[in-house]
Amino acid sequence: MTAVILFHHSQGLTSGVVAFADELRVAGHTVHTPDLFEGRTFGSIEEGMGYVGQVGFGEITERGVRAAEPLPRDAVYAGFSLGVVPAQKLAQTRAGARGALLFDACIPVSEFGAAWPDGVPVQVHAKESDPFFVEDIDAARDLVSARADAELFLYPGDQHLFADASLPSYDADAAALLTRRAIEFLGSL
């Protein structure tokens, strides 16, 4: 069906991210999960962001871009939180993108020096009171208001990374709804 390139969050390629990718695979999609941290995982967002600070935010983003080079160009780019950065950059700048799924974050479109491309639908999913997403809500609303093929889904609560079943922030009900919406999105392409 659809090729998906799914980038992990700041705690690394956790078993919860892998489980989410597996749910998309069960629905018939091919899902690639590049490891931007070279096998490292972290017990907290702060520890993971400490690693990002050591390696460099730009380097982590470019690892995502490099990881996508040998993969299909006609992919849907998806990411959780930190992983939204390479996912959104690729959706906006790599010719052939089929769509984008942005979980727990949204970057201003202007960050990547290009308008959101025509024909690339996008969904943004986050908890309405997530303290990390509060910084991104305006970018998400701007993106959605400028595009007929963009949707913003806000879920009750304040958990960040709520769709990662391996973390204490996991919200099974909201994650199930997010997963269903993402699978429907992929099936519509």
User: What's 140's domain CATH number?
Assistant: 3.40.50.1820
Task: Please tell me the predicted confidence (pLDDT) of residue 115.
Answer: 84
Structural domains in the chain (count): 1
Bridge partners (DSSP) of residue 4 are: 31, 76
Confidence band for 113, pLDDT divided at 50, 70 and 90: confident
How would you class 179 by CB atoms within 10 Å of its CB: exposed for 0-12, middle for 13-18, buried for 19 or more?
middle
What is the gyration radius of the CA atoms in the chain, in angstroms? 15
Q: What number is the average pLDDT over the span 8-13?
A: 98
CA 32 – CA 180 distance, rounded (Å): 19
Q: pLDDT at residue 114 above 80? A: no
**What's the chain's average pLDDT?**
96
pLDDT attached to residue 138: 97
- Domain carrying residue 9: 3-187
What does the pLDDT look like over 45-81, one tens digit per residue? 999 999 999 999 999 999 999 999 999 999 999 999 9
pLDDT digits (tens, 9 = 90+) for 27-47: 999 999 999 999 999 999 999
Q: How much is the pLDDT for 1?
A: 85
